[in-house]
Amino acid sequence: MAGSTAAAGSTFEEHARAVIAALKQALADLVDALPVPPASGPTELGRALRVDTKLAWKVTNLLERSDPFEAGLYVPGAQAMRRFCSAAEEQGAPAPIVARVRAGYRAFDELAREHAGDRRSLDMMLAGQVSTENRTAQLDHRKAAYRANSYLWGVQARLQLKTVVVAPSADPTRLDAVVLNGFVDLRRIRPKAPWRITAAYSVDDEGTVHTGFDWRPLDPEASVADPQKGPPLVREFCSKNLPDIDVLPGEAGATQYAFREGPVGRRGAATCVIGEVLRAVEPRYRQAAYEVLGTYLRLHTPVEHAVLDLAVHEDLFDAFHPRAHLFSGLFSGELFKRHLACDELPLFERVDPVGRASEVQWLPEMPRYRDLMRHALERVDWEPGAFHVHRVRMAYPPTPTALVVRQDLPDPP
């Protein structure tokens, strides 16, 4: 609960992570309940609540930071938080949600008193947990590259998202998966700019591509039953202005979907999500050529943010400690089949736990993301509370690259 104290014996890191996550979740629910447009920035949020932009900027940054310790640095002071909650109440925010935010802030204040003595000391302790080496300089260069590549490739997007949900299969030695792929507010700078999404495929540790598993669209009534005939759209979460789509046969049997020419600029901005169900797709236990559970996000499009979520069923691992990597795609070919150590790039972002799938954290660029997660799990009749979600969030990722999350598979029983 947001207002609970730390468990006896918990470390500062454990206590801070839990308290900040609860406060972020409460604030996300509060912002969702306010009369502001989706993915609003601090200016729109401040105007809607009639609070100063600096306070709205702090709240926006708190919600956007995936690193809980970095997010904690943006928690407003006590007086500012009281002002924010009062303004939200005046705009009709539900009282129970406002109460959760206030309880979450009380827990944050208790965290400061217990471990640091005061807020200034707490901020120094939180900053000491953030991997800041070269992050600012790298982010400046990545943002400049995003702008240049948007012009060169003729396309850009607010968000590229991939979510992989992994569960035990009917075959006790295999894994099932639900895979969601998509772009939010993708727009063309030039009318004939290319834009592709690749259907799911499996790659073993030796670089062999596998596509012979049981594949089906997440939404059969809204899609086609054959990936060679069209993309498995999750239409409820797609915009209505999607351009026509061509199917392209890809390397090693993988399928790609190419979006035809469309209007440029904001009027042509489109959101597209595809959803796939993969049965018995990969081994559940370590074996030759499959020693890790690996999932990756292919980054070929200039985007403001990339988010890779991995949701894993609680029965699959006794201990789950995934690792994030970033690999160059300059020498990988059409598909990222192998990720070699010589191609690895610096990555300061980490894999962060963001709760169970039933309470997964809000995405500012896609406010309906939690609805999308709920929709996907309902389609396969999986219980959201049984899945732990881990997230990597990256601003202005370089292209072409692959953002990879790996977890060692357990030994066979």
102-153 tens-digit pLDDT: 999 999 999 999 999 989 889 888 877 775 545 676 788 899 999 999 999 8
CA dist 383 and 370 (Å) reads 14
**Where do the structural domains in the chain lie, given as residue ranges?**
12-127, 135-408
For residues 366-384, give the mean pLDDT. 94
Q: Is the pLDDT of residue 326 over 60?
A: yes
**Per-residue pLDDT, 308:** 97
3-state DSSP assignment of residue 183: strand
| Mutual angle of helices 95-115 and 12-32, in 10-degree steps | 160
User: Higher model confidence: residue 151 or residue 207?
Assistant: 151
Amino acid at 153: W
In percent, how much of the chain has pLDDT > 70? 86
**Per-residue pLDDT, 127:** 77
Highest average pLDDT, of 45-49, 59-63, 186-190, 376-380, comes from: 376-380
305-315 tens-digit pLDDT: 999 999 999 99
Q: Is the pLDDT of residue 41 over 90?
A: no
Report the side by side order of strands in the sheet with 174-188. 214-217, 270-283, 174-188, 155-168, 303-313, 387-395, 352-356
For residues 370-394, give the mean pLDDT. 95
Q: Is the pLDDT of residue 5 over 60?
A: no
Question: Which contiguous run of DSSP H or E holds residue 309?
Answer: strand 303-313
Q: Is the pLDDT of residue 257 over 70?
A: yes
User: Higher model confidence: residue 361 or residue 409?
Assistant: 409
3-state DSSP assignment of residue 158: strand
**Per-residue pLDDT, 193:** 73
261-311 tens-digit pLDDT: 778 888 788 899 999 999 999 999 999 888 899 898 999 999 999 999 999
For residues 166-182, give the mean pLDDT. 96
Amino acid at 3: G
Residues 63, 68, 71, 75, CA torsion sign: positive
Q: What is the mean pLDDT of the chain?
A: 86
CA dist 95 and 101 (Å) reads 10
Q: Which pair of structure tokens corresponds to residue 388?
A: 């732990």
**Per-residue pLDDT, 334:** 55
The HSE-up count of residue 159 (CA atoms within 13 Å, CB side) is: 21
Q: CA of 311: how far to CAs of 227, 257, 262, 405, in Å?
A: 24, 25, 34, 11
**Per-residue pLDDT, 70:** 85
Which stretches within 36-134 are classed as H helix?
Answer: 42-49, 53-64, 68-72, 78-90, 95-115, 119-127
Q: How far is CA 327 from the centre of its chain?
A: 18
